[in-house]
Amino acid sequence: MSARPCLVIGSIGLDRVVTPFAQSDNLLGGSASYAAIAASYFAPTRVVSIVGADFPPAFRRKLRRKHGLDLAGLTTDPHGKTFRWSGRYRERFEGRDTVGIRLNAFEKFSPVLPPSWRDTPFVLLGALQPAFQHRVLDQLPCGRQRPFVLADTIDVWIHRTRLDLLRLLPRIDLFALNEEESLLLTGEGNPTRAGRKLRKMGPRIVIIKKGAHGSLLFHPDGYFSLFAYPVTKFVDPTGAGDSYAGALIGYLASVARTDFAAIKKAVAYATATSSLTVESFSVSRLSSAGRAAIDRRYGELAAMTQL
Amino acid sequence: MSARPCLVIGSIGLDRVVTPFAQSDNLLGGSASYAAIAASYFAPTRVVSIVGADFPPAFRRKLRRKHGLDLAGLTTDPHGKTFRWSGRYRERFEGRDTVGIRLNAFEKFSPVLPPSWRDTPFVLLGALQPAFQHRVLDQLPCGRQRPFVLADTIDVWIHRTRLDLLRLLPRIDLFALNEEESLLLTGEGNPTRAGRKLRKMGPRIVIIKKGAHGSLLFHPDGYFSLFAYPVTKFVDPTGAGDSYAGALIGYLASVARTDFAAIKKAVAYATATSSLTVESFSVSRLSSAGRAAIDRRYGELAAMTQL
């Protein structure tokens, strides 16, 4: 089966990150940057996003030339500035606090899919405001042409736009979120119960990401858990979740399947891919690693969990 | 291969436990109670411990009659009281504080192995003072008759008797400890690095237990990780580590093997067994569950980690 294309909608921005060990500024960031680069290792990847006139041409070149991303859905607002995010990770990386968000160009963003992209069979709604995620869904076909839709989110949207997010859940196929977010959304601290509860809230498939501890998959055909890859050079977890989601949708597009076995393999590829992201600030390690490094870690993960 | 016997040395005591949800007093506790019951599901199990004259006969009957434990190594101090431990679990069970220990009978304990037990091929040194663990090792044969020795510990002994514990490590084959303890001992917060460091400190094999997140196995032949069983009825984690260690030594004795494949299976049986322990206070669920419940959970664990 040949690879199908996937579509990634999310932010492209400039980040400032503070970890217990270091800090860095003006980094290429945003959910779509991480997710699309990750997806590009598996399938042709289309990007819907917006940046301001200040977006560095070098970053645009990296996305298009180095990773072959189709940027026909990337709007440049000539009068606006690029989205900015700054965050601070807590001691031992157990949780992240968003310190500041300046939406900038995203304030007037209205995601419009190029007409030829509307039949993209695999869609990732990155961790954007749910209103944007809804607007993309409104442009996708229904019925038998319906794509497979994966949505991600972050704590900010649960706090600020909870109802929009709850309305989104029945409209998607797979919801991926971290353990802290699953607690915020369900009030349930036990991740197994939280996962079951989330499935009742709409999505057929739920993945709860436990950061350095791995991830849990709740699927109609079964339950699956995978330990995180044993990273020893931990630098910055920013973008780990986005890379995870990107690799997930990219892998599914590459095999054009969404059954339990395929989703389990996708979880392992997502785990392998995001383990590279955390080994540097921004997308540097993810971008330089290449597919071979991902495949190597996938093989190691398969071996180290083989009973 | 027929099952070989195993020997468990540890405390038998009366516990008081406070969790975020409930508290309970005068419970059958102590590392040997949990470990020996867990081991008894796999292999003939011998117990070395001490209790006071106040030890309830009903508890003794449970250990001997219900679980078939050989109590020839259990001393009763006619003038002493039984060991007491009280502990408090933090919110979301992420860590435990020992509130009080009264050693009582253990103050004058000097573990003496019945002569016919000295060639027991599989030995678990439960989470006792390292001095006691050393004293047991001193009575075991060297050279080709050397048994396979697994040792466990708890935070208290790392704080109070660190040097004794460090001297123990080169004398054992497998060291099992939790993530917090591995940080205390190695100063290393990354469990992968901590595991490697611990192996350099003596034991050929190291297992780091991450509680509700699962466990990591560091073995000369490879690395293995297993998610915890997805418990949804969490009551009290006391004894989880002891049950884990007991099932581990019991399974290894039952197959009379200690190669990488056997240790991986032992980790899965230990995970399954300890998941039962946390579903009640004291040993009640562990004691009532039976081998069939353990085998069922082992099967589920194997399925839910199958890529």
% of chain B at pLDDT higher than 90: 80
Is B199 an interface residue toward A (CB < 8 Å)?
no
For the stretch B253-262, pLDDT in tens is 999 999 999 9
Are residues B232 and A193, on separate chains, in Cβ contact within 8 Å?
yes
pLDDT of residue A92: 67
Contact A264 B307 (CB under 8 A): yes
Q: Which of B252, B273, B271, B272 is nearest to B261 (CA)?
A: B252
- pLDDT at residue number A200: 97
Which ipTM was obtained for this model? 0.81
Q: Identify the pLDDT of residue B59.
A: 97
Q: Residue B108: which pLDDT band, with cuts at 50, 70 and 90?
A: confident
Side chain identity at A125, as an amino acid letter? L
Range in A190-194, B141-145, B166-170, B255-259 with the lowest mean pLDDT: B141-145
The mean pLDDT of chain B is 94
User: Which residue has better confidence, A122 or B17?
Assistant: A122
Mean pLDDT of successive 10-residue segments in chain A (307 residues)? 89 90 89 98 98 96 97 95 90 71 88 95 95 96 93 92 97 96 94 96 97 93 94 88 97 97 98 96 94 97 92
Q: For B137, phi and psi rounded to 5 degrees?
A: -60, -35
Distance CA A17, CA A277 (A): 14
Q: Is the pLDDT of residue B20 over 90?
A: no
Nearest residue, CB atoms, A307 vs list B192, B223, B305: B305
Q: Does residue B34 or residue B97 have the better pLDDT? A: B34
A232 touches chain B (CB under 8 A): yes
Q: What is the pLDDT of residue A174?
A: 98
Q: Residues B197-233: pLDDT tens digits?
A: 999 999 999 999 998 889 999 999 999 999 999 998 8
What pLDDT is recorded for position A46? 98
User: B224 and A304 in contact by Cβ < 8 A?
Assistant: yes
Q: What is the mean pLDDT of residues B158-174?
A: 96
Predicted confidence (pLDDT) per residue in B37-89, tens digit: 999 999 999 999 999 999 999 999 999 999 999 999 999 999 999 999 998 88
- Give residue B217's pLDDT: 97
**CB neighbour list of residue A28: distance below 8 Å, 6 or more residues apart:** A12, A14, A15, A59, A62, A282, A283
* A214 to B216: CB separation less than 8 angstroms, yes or no: no
DSSP assignment of A125-174: E-SS-HHHHHHHHHTS--GGGPPEEEEE--HHHHHH-HHHHHHHGGG-SE
For residue A175, what are the contacts with CB-CB under 8 A and spacing of at least 6? A150, A151, A153, A169, A198, A202, A203, A205, A206, A207
pLDDT digits (tens, 9 = 90+) for B270-303: 999 999 999 998 999 999 999 999 999 999 999 9
